[in-house]
Amino acid sequence: MKKDLSKVRNIGISAHIDSGKTTLTERILFFTQRIHAIHEVRGKDGVGATMDSMDLERERGITIQSAATHCTWKDYAINIIDTPGHVDFTIEVERALRVLDGAVLILCSVGGVQSQSITVNRQMTRYKVPRIAFINKCDRTGANPGRVVQQLRDKLGLNAVLMQMPIGLESDLEGMIDLVAMQAVYFDGDQGREIRREAIPAHLQDEAQAKREELLDAASMFSDELMELMLEEGDIPEAVVHEAIRRGTLSLGLTPVMIGSAYKNKGIQLLLDAVATYLPTPMDIENTALDLNDEEAEKTVSNDPADPLVALAFKLEDGRYGQLTYIRTYQGEVKKGDTIINSRTGKKVKVGRLVRMHADEMEEIEEAGSGDIVALFGVDCASGDTFCAPELSWSMSSMHIPAPVISLAIKPVDNKAQINMAKALNRFTKEDPTFKTYVDHETSETIISGMGELHLEVYIERMKREYKAEVEVGAPQVAYRETITRRADFDYTHKKQTGGSGQFGRVAGFVEPLEEGEYEFVDQIVGGAIPREFISSCDKGFQKSLDKGTLTGAPITGVRITINDGAYHAVDSSDVAFQLAAIGAFRQGYDKAAAVIMEPIMKVAVEGPSEFQGAVMGSINQRRGVIIGTFEEGSYTVVEAEVPLVEMFGYSTTLRSLTQGKAEFTMEFSTYKQVPKGLADELIKAFNEKKKES
Amino acid sequence: MAYTSLTQQNPLRVLNMSKDSQMGLVMARAGLGKTALLVQIALDAILRGKRVIHVSIGQGIDKTRVWYDDILQLILQGHSVDRPHELIDMVSRHRMIMTFQASAFSRARLEERLNDLVLQDIFRPNCLIVDGFDFDTADREALEDLKNLMESMHLQAWFSAVRHREDLRVSPHGVPAPCHEIDDLFDTIILLQPREDASIELEFINNSSEHAIGSKGLRLDPTTMMVKER
């Protein structure tokens, strides 16, 4: 059992798609002797890389789910989360970042900082994750680590410093110069297992010295000792340099940059050394939880194994071994046989089997200390839940979860598929908070919604493969919303006297636009015009009205409703009567409040060779996009724009044919904006026709 | 235009750059508010219904955008606007940011980009802001070339230039280095001068080709970098 927290590293590996993170992870596992053979992501051996455990990932060559895996390097215990690179899966990336202490940002030495790296970097900054960068694929034609470092500075605003210098580049990549030890490092033997350190080749001496100066200058900002040694011009011990860089990294003031080629087995061991030397231990990072027994007061978790347990379930997986729940412990220990509490539900959970995961293989363990990442078997929970020792009721601060922006209808092909589909949906919604599902009562269709086309496509594929649920898929629908643009009064009386007990309630007041937030209810009733007990009935009635707007049936947001008058009947007024009165009142106000339809707008970044910039801008313009700006560097251009999601369907195909497949794009949700008049009319017409049909 | 009330009070009215294809220049030492002033000039044009391309050399899109967001917020704080979101939206539709790495910027590149926009009718600018142009290394020819481009495209253009404390060369009209030999290419030159009370004064030279009108008594508020009348 490794209890020394200073020897534990919880790291993530994230990067742009195809910059080689799965290959790198594979190599790390190989060098840390977790696996004994190397499989390529798109290997000819048909086995696929070890971390991509889902068939779908193997087939597409992309990593969809982040598998947590454990390995040991020298005497350090390293937990690695392999994170997906496509932006549609950012909840996976964000969830992984939440439980990590540090990260390795992988960049392709040719492609450099690409749009996805920018997104990932922004997420890492949001969660204050210290990181080191690894410039991969230095063996490829066109490799230029110097340019990538410059991009890290310019595009990501990182204080990036090269820790190494390549010896040869592209197909001549022989090894690298360690700028701290000032030695040449080569990787010999079977799959580069043996490290040979030698004197720096004479022709690189001057350049290495200059690069080292740069490195020391940057590092000295974080260490007075180093600065003094430099002024004295004496010998500088390696340990002093390492310590300065470590401090800079932890304070997010410095980003050490390693180089290599995972595919050619060059530089992996040095990267592992850097992970151990520069990235934080669980104790270096302050994490907070909310105490549910103390009005959600913020508490700092202690990392002390002697304290009561606090652990976060950050990922669920339904594999061949049954349900697996990945947890990260923040303080205390979890042992086999312990009883722990799910602080969201308050339910007691008995810890059965406890395992350390290595992608598909697992190792049974008896206990896990603070700061560790392990998996539990057979525990019922949702991802994002917090587990505590019985005496605590803490919740790890809630994660930033974006609302779904796209939905589509799915229909099972037969009865068997129907049952399997229900199982699959139940699983997916637990695993992924950005994936939602519900049954549309009017059409009886099952609707799934998520963060993008690809996001939903992957779940439909998984339904087919893992659950044998064949479904027919409808056209994707954008999640529209309705809102009001001006204040309007209402005064509505609900009266029903058709035998039996009657219903009576009058509600008066006004609706008005709410700039920030979805709904606000203001009670200005004086003198008991509506009795206290029925005020909440009015609130309930208004909230019900918000589910479906009258223009297109989309949910209504951004409304403040104030009630200031009303009337009741001693016998006929009831909870139901006032709810119905509020619904009627809302309709009345809503019709006069100049309601409009809102649509999701995506922030889109298209990146490609400059020669296609005109074509790219044209394509965005045709899609009702507003170009925010362009960034030009060398022969590469990034176009940033805001484009309505509904116009982005099928854009990848358009972009491919416009640019001969040389440009790519990412998008993420930005905001909701009003739909232009012409389109709004079409939507309303379509909604009315659909209503008539049913 | 619904936002005329915001622009009529703008002290920048004195600039009087009403004709198209005029060139203006803002000069100051580092950190005195060149970008802030350029963004105010751009916003003033946008509020009058013009379209502006902001060319930023050596800075990213986000950084440039933040300048606009911040200054627009300050304008909104000073005036009551019915629907601020519509104004913000209008500004983003009338503005485009083009950023270049210093090595990637050239007249040919710029012309190609502008043509991309104009020929496809994506964005037809009236005004160009060029922030970060390196006057230290640029020669007269390069600038004349740019001036020709502005004239052929009927664009008003505003540049910023950094002056250096140690360089004391000055043109006969009082324009300091590094622009002392090319001052005739500009219709208006604004010098930002720090004053003893920590405010920054705007000194006008060559205002619309009438030489040396001198100071109009405008200054930049050092806390907000907004133009104020004294």
- Considering the domain architecture, whether residues A540 and A655 belong to the same structural domain is answered as no
- Considering the domain architecture, whether residues A166 and A195 belong to the same structural domain is answered as yes
Mean pLDDT for chain B overall:
84
Domain boundary among A366, A396, A426: A396
Residue B203 lies in a domain: no
- Considering the domain architecture, whether residues A56 and A152 belong to the same structural domain is answered as yes
Chain B nearest-CA distance from A640, in A, is 8
Cis omega (within 30 of 0) for bond into A600: no
How large is the average pLDDT for residues A50-70?
Answer: 52
pLDDT in tens, A336-386: 888 888 887 788 888 888 888 765 567 888 888 888 888 888 888 877 788
- Considering the domain architecture, whether residues A103 and A38 belong to the same structural domain is answered as yes
Interface residues on B facing A, Cβ-Cβ cutoff 8 A: 60-61, 64-65, 85, 89, 92-93, 96-101, 103-105, 109, 112-113, 115-117, 119-123
Torsion of CA B207, B213, B214, B220, to 10 degrees: -40
Residue A25 lies in a domain: yes
How is residue A249 annotated by DSSP? H
Q: Has residue A573 got a pLDDT over 60? A: yes
Instruction: Choose among A614, A626, A631: nearest Cβ to B120.
Output: A614
How large is the average pLDDT for residues B77-98?
Answer: 85
The residues, ordered by sequence, that sit 6+ positions from B214 with a Cβ below 8 Å of its Cβ are B203, B204
What pLDDT sits at residue A2? 45
- Considering the domain architecture, whether residues A509 and A569 belong to the same structural domain is answered as yes
Confidence of residue A635 (pLDDT cuts 50, 70, 90): confident
How large is the average pLDDT for residues A135-153?
Answer: 87
Domain boundary among A284, A309, A339: A284
Residue A688 lies in a domain: no
Residue B132 lies in a domain: yes
Assign A547 to helix, strand or coil: coil
Residue A693 lies in a domain: no
Instruction: Choose among A157, A613, A631: nearest Cβ to B61.
Output: A631
Find chain A residues with C-beta within 8 A of B97's C-beta: 628-630
More confident residue, B44 or A399: B44
Which structural domain range is residue A323 located in?
288-396
Residue A321 lies in a domain: yes
The CATH number of the domain holding residue A268 is 3.40.50.300
- Considering the domain architecture, whether residues A127 and A174 belong to the same structural domain is answered as yes
Confidence of residue A46 (pLDDT cuts 50, 70, 90): very low
Find chain A residues with C-beta within 8 A of B88's C-beta: none
pLDDT in tens, A180-213: 989 999 988 777 778 888 888 889 889 999 999 9
Q: Total structural domains in chain B? A: 1
- Considering the domain architecture, whether residues A243 and A301 belong to the same structural domain is answered as no
Q: How do A406-412 and A471-473 pair as beta strands?
A: antiparallel
What pLDDT sits at residue A395? 81
Q: Has residue B36 got a pLDDT over 60? A: yes
- Considering the domain architecture, whether residues A642 and A673 belong to the same structural domain is answered as yes
Q: Total structural domains in chain A? A: 5
The CATH number of the domain holding residue A350 is 2.40.30.10
Residue B183 lies in a domain: no
Please give the biggest Cα pair distance in chain B.
51
Residue A454 Cα distances to A66, A304, A328, A435, angstroms = 17, 42, 29, 12
Q: Has residue A400 got a pLDDT over 70? A: no
The residues, ordered by sequence, that sit 6+ positions from A373 with a Cβ below 8 Å of its Cβ are A10, A68, A70, A79, A81, A99, A326, A327, A328, A329
d(CA A80, CA A13): 7
Q: How do A310-319 and A322-331 pair as beta strands?
A: antiparallel
Which structural domain range is residue B105 located in?
23-170
- Considering the domain architecture, whether residues A39 and A113 belong to the same structural domain is answered as yes
Instruction: Choose among A515, A629, A673: nearest Cβ to B61.
Output: A629
| Contact assessment for residue A82 and residue A51, using Cβ atoms and an 8 Å cutoff | yes
Mean pLDDT for chain A overall:
83
- Considering the domain architecture, whether residues A275 and A327 belong to the same structural domain is answered as no
Assign A506 to helix, strand or coil: strand
The CATH number of the domain holding residue B79 is 3.40.50.300
Report long-range pairs for A192-198 (Cβ below 8 Å, ≥24 apart): A192/A264, A192/A265, A192/A266, A192/A268, A193/A31, A193/A265, A195/A269
Chain B nearest-CA distance from A594, in A, is 14
Question: Which residue of chain A has the CA closest to B61?
Answer: A629
pLDDT in tens, B164-182: 888 888 888 888 889 888 8
What pLDDT sits at residue A48? 52
What pLDDT sits at residue A442? 66
What pLDDT sits at residue A527? 86
User: Per-residue DSSP letters for A175-192?
Assistant: EEEETTTTEEEEEESGGG
The helix (run of H) or strand (run of E) holding residue B75 is helix B61-78
- Considering the domain architecture, whether residues A306 and A164 belong to the same structural domain is answered as no
Inspect the interface and report whether the beta carbons of B61 and A617 lie closer than 8 Å. no
Residue A687 lies in a domain: no
Domain boundary among A396, A416, A449: A396
How large is the average pLDDT for residues A492-516?
Answer: 87
Residue A352, number of CB atoms within 10 A of its CB: 11
Chain A nearest-CA distance from B62, in A, is 9
Q: Has residue A466 got a pLDDT over 60? A: yes
pLDDT in tens, A263-286: 888 888 899 999 999 999 888 888
- Considering the domain architecture, whether residues A559 and A580 belong to the same structural domain is answered as yes
Residue A480 lies in a domain: no
Instruction: Choose among B92, B101, B123: nearest Cβ to A632.
Output: B101
Q: Has residue A163 got a pLDDT over 90? A: yes
Q: Has residue A62 got a pLDDT over 70? A: no
